[in-house]
Amino acid sequence: MDVYGLVGNPVGHSRSPPMHEAAYDELGIDARYVTFEPAEPNIADAVAGADALGIAGLNVTVPFKRDVLDLVEPDPLAERIGAVNTIDFSGDTPTGHNTDAGGARRALTSHGVALDGANAVLVGAGGAGRAIAFAIADAGASVAIANRTVETAASLAADVGDAASAHGLDAVPGLLADADVLVNATSVGMGEDASPVPANALHAGLTVMDAVYSPLDTRLLRDARDAGADTVDGAWMLLYQGVEAFERWTGRDAPVDAMNAALRARL
Ligand code: NAP
């Protein structure tokens, strides 16, 4: 039996175990997915221990995504983003990957969004925002990054390169006038009825994706629907980061519908 898991602190709320185990059940794979919650100073021991125990793969979540970068051999995308959310132990050395980026890209493209040549506005420049900015820019879109702390947006835009620009939140309504895609990667709306974007700046022809998945139907997404925009909820990014991790670890196409059903049953 192969063992996969999630390392983070806390991880009690995680929906990853049922999502991955639904995939194993669907494809008849003899594997289990469990959660691990090491104390923060013990993350290096935890990764080395997982390797020594023959654990096949680990997802990584808050607060360890940056720390793990130094504990594995990161691929170029994870290195550029500065965070690892997936470790593959199948080689001689554990390798680190970032499937949040591919997850965000696939969440958008699976909803018919053509990113190549698109104008995107990204609100938020924290952990999720970094992965999403690289995903959007690497797919050929320009990305205007707006953040409460403008310096953080500027630093991310410099890391992303020519396709990116940095702004404060007050610039968002103006930026949205010409935009095809809006992504919220702030924590605004998480567990609260609030939106980081004024409702009157949203319009038909825009696709709005929220990274927030608790609640699933955020104020931003409701405002977007009311304005005639298309919407993509935060469960899609969560789903596709898991799909990419599953495919990397097993080398098989993920049973996306089964994973989606298992995930949404718990949100
Ligand atoms: P993070 O690193 O702590 O970043 C938080 C971001 O939110 C920063 O840009 C911060 O701006 C901004 N922010 C916080 N409070 C704000 C406020 N009151 N007004 C305006 N901006 C505010 O968090 P994260 O890990 O990126 O997560 C962000 C959200 O994405 C969370 O809701 C998380 O659950 C979600 N997420 C979803 C997925 C998924 O797969 N769907 C994956 C990862 C994360 P400053 O820089 O100014 O502080």
**Does residue 127's CB lie within 6 angstroms of at least one atom of ligand 1?**
yes
* pLDDT for 30: 98
* pLDDT for 67: 97
- For residue 165, the SS3 value is strand
Candidates 178, 184, 250; CA nearest to 220 is 184
* pLDDT for 131: 98
- For residue 15, the SS3 value is coil
Nearest CA to ligand 1 atom 36: 211
Q: In a mutational test of the pocket of ligand 1, which residue from 121, 187, 266, 267 has the highest number of ligand atoms less than 8 Å from its CB?
A: 187
CA of 186 to the centre of ligand 1 (A): 3
* pLDDT for 206: 98
Count of beta carbons in the 10 Å neighbourhood of residue 189: 23
* pLDDT for 194: 98
**Does residue 189's CB lie within 6 angstroms of at least one atom of ligand 1?**
no
Series of mean pLDDT values for 10-residue runs along the chain (267 residues): 97 96 98 98 98 98 97 98 98 97 98 98 97 98 98 98 98 98 98 98 98 97 98 98 98 98 96
The residues that are catalytic are 65
- H helix intervals, 34-82: 43-53, 76-81
How would you class 148 by CB atoms within 10 Å of its CB: exposed for 0-12, middle for 13-18, buried for 19 or more?
middle
Nearest CA to ligand 1 atom 44: 128
What structural domains does the chain harbor?
2-97+237-264 (3.40.50.10860), 102-232 (3.40.50.720)
